[in-house]
Structure 1
Amino acid sequence: MLKVEHLTKMFGGLAAVNDVSVVFEAGKINAIIGPNGAGKSTFFNLISGMHQPTSGRILLDGVDVTRLRCDKVAQLGVGRTFQTTNLFEQATVLDNLIVGHRLRTKSGLWDVLVNSKRLQAEEKASRDKAREALDFVGLSHVENQYIADITQEQRKRVAFALALATDPKIVLLDEPAAGVNPEETEGFAALMKKMVANGLTVCLIEHKMDMIMSLADKIMVLDHGEKIAEGTPEQVRSNPLVIEAYLGSDEDVAA
């Protein structure tokens, strides 16, 4: 599904991501963990086209997407959420989601001026896709509410739905469970499993280790921009480098 080869991103003299290679399999839940400042979000920004790498390659289903703009990467099937959920506060939930499917439409200025049949058909398709995504995340009942009036947990679900409305193959989730309580965290874990059950590939950044260890099929660990480990949760949990850099030992936790 997603193959990264020797990916490097320099900001001046700082290597935010340094020679990282990894393969994320289709239909799996893949996690990226590491300390703050390890390069996790920069890694996502490179995959999604928000940043251009200094060197290396990114392949999506065998297609080289390394130098593509973020809108082109999204058209090829990469959906994305962010650490901070930025939505249109004074628009309804449904109107926020209609934007997601726009990258699949072809109407231009002329279609708008004459209210063409193509525009009308694409407007309906975008609205239908928005409602489908909203139903998937369990928020059909709030489609007409303003973003300003819904809860933090609901906003995060709307962000999930916005990514789904783009018709992705793989979804990059940047700290999806940050700032929510344990019950809500379980709900997001169930939602990610549902995404995979419906044919999607999930890649997430997260600091909640209990969730990651019980959820992920594969984990990659970054530290100071470099990959220091990858493998199953069991392999990562027992890796000495990971324990030293991030997880800590049982004695450290007890202290």
Structure 2
Amino acid sequence: MYLETKKLTKKFGGLLAVNEVDFSIKKGKINAIIGPNGAGKSTFFNLISGFHPPSSGEIIFKGTDITKLPSNKIATLGIARTFQTTNLFEGSTVFDNVVIGHRLRTKSNLFDAIFKTKRLKQEEEKCKEKALEVLQLVGLAKTADSLVSNITQEEKKRVAFALALATDPELVFLDEPTAGVNPDETEELSLLIEKMAGKGITICLIEHKMKMVMKLADNIMVLNYGEKIAEGLPEEINNNEAVIKAYLGGSASA
């Protein structure tokens, strides 16, 4: 098994945000998590990526229990993520924003920084090379020197992808990667997600745009009120009564 959750649960006070969810992410595939607003999707991502500790349950990655690991340790294992709201340094260039990503893989310490050691210089060079490589991959090589404050919303999404890719991940969580962009840009970002998957990166995404999910995903899980109500292939999910009810049930989508 690649990555799986067993009875994963998160309570915030009296609120049960994620309730005993069993889910397995298929290696090398595009996995998707869907559900009405407030279904617990982002909380589920936050549990797996170490931003919130689970109340109970387990997270197993390649046979290792990572349930209690903090986010920085989980990132070093090869798990990266983007956020619903793209938090970038607006006053810095696209390149400088992305360079930070590969620092996760460097060994330099305070001594190296103070004495400008050979190791520091080599690692800085490697970070720059990696940044250029991932900017090329996401189609932003020509935008590298632009200030983030001057680029479009769709380009900011691509910078967030590049930042995640700069950490050398094997599994990337994308939290609503096409929120706030138009249909043409959604199509372009879908192609980029397919391109990432084509390079052997496993993808798990949260997305509200159903047409896109049904076209992209190999495997879909549906959450509603923190509980898993369905999992399967796109065509199975499309025809699932519980899923149709969750989306058309009125209060669930509030």
The whole-number CA distance in structure 2 between the counterparts of 1:63 and 1:194 is 28
Partner of 2:78: 77
1:56 aligns with 2:57: yes
Alpha-carbon distance, 1:47 to partner = 0.5
Secondary structure of 2:23's counterpart equals strand
Alpha-carbon distance, 1:64 to partner = 1.1
Partner of 2:161: 160
Alpha-carbon distance, 1:56 to partner = 0.6
Secondary structure of 2:160's counterpart equals helix
The whole-number CA distance in structure 2 between the counterparts of 1:98 and 1:65 is 27
1:104 aligns with 2:71: no
Aligned residues: 248
1:216 aligns with 2:217: yes
The whole-number CA distance in structure 2 between the counterparts of 1:198 and 1:4 is 25
Instruction: For 1:59, give the aligned amino acid.
Output: I
Alpha-carbon distance, 1:247 to partner = 5.4
Secondary structure of 1:42's counterpart equals helix
- 1:16-165 map, 5 Å: 16-165=17-166
Alpha-carbon distance, 1:169 to partner = 0.8
The whole-number CA distance in structure 1 between the counterparts of 2:58 and 2:123 is 34
Partner of 1:175: 176
Normalised by the length of structure 2, the TM-score is: 0.96
Partner of 2:226: 225
The whole-number CA distance in structure 1 between the counterparts of 2:46 and 2:131 is 25
Alpha-carbon distance, 1:158 to partner = 0.3
Alpha-carbon distance, 1:100 to partner = 0.5
The whole-number CA distance in structure 1 between the counterparts of 2:166 and 2:52 is 23
Partner of 1:2: 3
Alpha-carbon distance, 1:113 to partner = 0.7
Normalised by the length of structure 1, the TM-score is: 0.96
Instruction: For 1:113, give the aligned amino acid.
Output: I
The whole-number CA distance in structure 1 between the counterparts of 2:189 and 2:62 is 27
Alpha-carbon distance, 1:180 to partner = 0.7
Instruction: For 2:188, give the aligned amino acid.
Output: G
The whole-number CA distance in structure 2 between the counterparts of 1:153 and 1:79 is 20
Instruction: For 1:121, give the aligned amino acid.
Output: Q
The structure-2 alpha-carbon separation of the partners of 1:6 and 1:151, relative to structure 1 and needing over 3 Å to count, comes to same
* Identical-residue share of aligned pairs (%): 61
Q: Per-residue CA shift, 1:26-58, capped at 9, x if unaligned? A: 010000000100000000000000000011111
Alpha-carbon distance, 1:237 to partner = 0.8
Partner of 1:252: none
Instruction: For 1:100, give the aligned amino acid.
Output: G
Secondary structure of 1:179's counterpart equals coil
Secondary structure of 1:132's counterpart equals helix
The structure-2 alpha-carbon separation of the partners of 1:194 and 1:247, relative to structure 1 and needing over 3 Å to count, comes to farther
The whole-number CA distance in structure 1 between the counterparts of 2:182 and 2:152 is 12
Instruction: For 2:235, give the aligned amino acid.
Output: E
Instruction: For 1:224, give the aligned amino acid.
Output: Y
Secondary structure of 2:184's counterpart equals helix
Pairwise CA RMSD = 0.8
The whole-number CA distance in structure 1 between the counterparts of 2:149 and 2:248 is 37
Instruction: For 1:26, give the aligned amino acid.
Output: K
Q: Per-residue CA shift, 1:173-199, capped at 9, x if unaligned? A: 000011111111111111111111101
The whole-number CA distance in structure 2 between the counterparts of 1:47 and 1:247 is 29
Instruction: For 1:150, give the aligned amino acid.
Output: I
The whole-number CA distance in structure 2 between the counterparts of 1:50 and 1:217 is 26
Runs ≥4 residues deviating over 4 A: none
Partner of 1:253: none
The whole-number CA distance in structure 2 between the counterparts of 1:197 and 1:25 is 14
